[in-house]
Chains A and B, each alone.
Chain A
Amino acid sequence: MPRFDLFSPGGFCALNGAAGQDAKGQKVAVGRRMVMVLALSGLAFVARTPSYLLALTAIDLAVLFWLRSGPLSLRREAKMFFWQTLIILALYVIRFGTLAGLWQGFQISWQLFLAFLPGLVFVRTTSQARIVQAFNRVMPCRMAFVLSTCLKFVPYLLAEIKIIYEGQVLRGARILPKDLAKPWHWPDLLHCVVVPAVVQGMALAGNIAMAARARDFGRHPRRTCWPGE
Chain B
Amino acid sequence: MDVLLQLTNFSFSYPETRNPVLRDVNLEIEAGRCYCLTGPTGSGKTTLAKAFKGLLGEGDFQGTIDAPFRPSGEEPQVGIVLQDPEVQLLTSSVGAEVAFGLENLCVAPAEMPNRVIAALEAVGLDKPLDFPVAMLSMGQKYRLLVAALLVMEPHLLILDEPGAQLDPEGLELLGKILLRLKESGVAVVLCEHRPESLLPVVDAFWQLDGDGILSSGRWVGTEESPRVLPPQPSGPRDREVLRVTDLTFAGVDGLPVWSEVSFAVSRGQRVAVTGLNGSGKTTLLRCLAGFLEPSDGVINILDGTPDPYRLRARLGCLFQNPQKQLFENTVREEVVFPLKRFGLSPAPAAERVAEVLDACGIAHLADLSPHKLSYGQKHLVALASVLAPRPELLLLDDPLAGLDGRYREAVMELLVRWGRERDMTLVWTSHEPDAWPGWADQVLNLEGGRLAAL
Contact = CB atoms under 8 A, between A and B. Distances in A.
Interface of A: 9-10, 73, 127-129, 149, 152-153, 156, 160, 163-164, 166-174, 176, 178, 188, 191-192, 195-196, 199-200, 204, 207-208, 210-220, 222-229
A207 B87 CA distance: 7
A121 B93 CA distance: 18
A167 B86 contact: no
Nearest to A198: B327
Contact of B312 (A129, A169, A218): A169
Nearest to B85: A211
Contacts of B311: 170
- Interface-central residue, A73, A128, A222, by most chain B CB under 10 Å: A128
A204 B324 contact: no
Nearest to A126: B92
A186 to B, nearest CB: 14
A140 B91 CA distance: 18
Interface string B74-94: 000001111010111011110
Contacts of A168: 325
18 contacts: A9-B254, A10-B254, A128-B93, A129-B92, A163-B320, A170-B289, A171-B389, A199-B324, A207-B82, A207-B84, A211-B82, A211-B87, A214-B88, A215-B100, A216-B101, A216-B104, A224-B108, A224-B112
Q: Which 7 residue pairs across A and B have the least CB separation, nearest first?
A: A172-B341, A211-B88, A226-B99, A128-B92, A172-B338, A227-B109, A215-B101
Contacts of B319: 163, 166-167
A172 B312 contact: yes
A171 B325 contact: yes
A172 B90 CA distance: 35
Interface in B300-335: 308-309, 311-313, 315-320, 322, 324-327
A172 B102 CA distance: 49
B326 A224 contact: no
- Interface-central residue, B109, B130, B286, B327, by most chain A CB under 10 Å: B327
Contacts of B107: 224
Contact of B325 (A129, A164, A224): A164
Contacts of B312: 169-170, 172
Interface residues of B, number: 66
Contact of B95 (A164, A217, A224, A228): A228
A207 B317 CA distance: 26
Contact of B106 (A149, A192, A222): A222
Interface in B316-360: 316-320, 322, 324-327, 337-342
B201 interface: no
A167 B109 contact: no
A204 B90 CA distance: 12
Nearest to A156: B86
A127 B104 CA distance: 19
A152 B91 CA distance: 7
Given A208-B90, A226-B95, A228-B95, A170 B152 contact: no
B53 interface: yes
Nearest to A171: B338
Contacts of A127: 92-93, 96, 130
Given A208-B87, A220-B106, 8 more contacts: A9-B254, A160-B324, A166-B308, A168-B325, A199-B327, A207-B82, A224-B108, A229-B130
B92 A172 contact: no
A213 B55 contact: yes
A176 B308 contact: yes
Given A172-B337, A229-B96, A224 B90 contact: no
A188 to B, nearest CB: 8
B148 interface: yes
